[in-house]
Amino acid sequence: MSQLTSLVLFATAVLVSEYVLGKIIRRILRLHLITRNICTRILDVLTVIVIACGILYIVQDDMIFYNPKNEESRIYLRHQPSYTEVQFTAENEKTYNGMLHKSQSGKAPLVIYFTGNGQASYNELMGIEAQGMWSYYNDYSLLCIDYEGYGLNEGSPHYLNMYEEALAIYDYAITLPDVDTSNIVAMGYSLGTGSATYLAANRDVTGLILVSPYANGYDLYNNVLPIFYGILKPLVKHKLPSDEYAPMVSAPVLMFASKSDEVVPYESSQKLSELFTSPVEFVTVDWAYHTGIYGADDVYSKIKTFLESVVKR
Q: Is the pLDDT of residue 43 over 50?
A: yes
pLDDT interval class at 180 (50, 70, 90): very high
pLDDT at 7: 44
Q: Is the pLDDT of residue 172 over 70?
A: yes
pLDDT at 57: 63
Q: Is the pLDDT of residue 53 over 90?
A: no
Q: Cα–Cα distance between 8 and 170 in angstroms, integer? A: 37
pLDDT at 46: 59
pLDDT at 4: 46
* DSSP summary character for residue 251: S
Task: Give residue 166's region: left, alpha or beta (phi > 0; psi -120 to 50).
Answer: alpha
Q: Is the pLDDT of residue 245 over 80?
A: yes
Of residues 160 and 228, more confidently modeled: 160
| Residue 210 CB contacts under 8 Å (≥ 6 apart), including other chains | 187, 188, 193, 196, 197, 253, 254, 255, 256, 269, 272
**Cβ–Cβ under 8 Å, residues 180 and 109:** yes
pLDDT at 40: 66
pLDDT at 104: 85
pLDDT at 287: 86
Residue 241's identity, in one-letter code, is: P
Q: What is the mean pLDDT of residues 93-104?
A: 94
pLDDT at 1: 45
pLDDT at 71: 81
pLDDT at 2: 47
pLDDT at 73: 87
Instruction: Tell me the average pLDDT of the chain.
Output: 86
In terms of Cβ atoms closer than 10 Å to its own Cβ (0-12, 13-18, 19+), residue 210 is: buried
For residue 36, CA distances in Å to 17, 20, 44, 95, 258 come to 19, 17, 12, 58, 55
Q: What is the mean pLDDT of residues 176-185?
A: 96
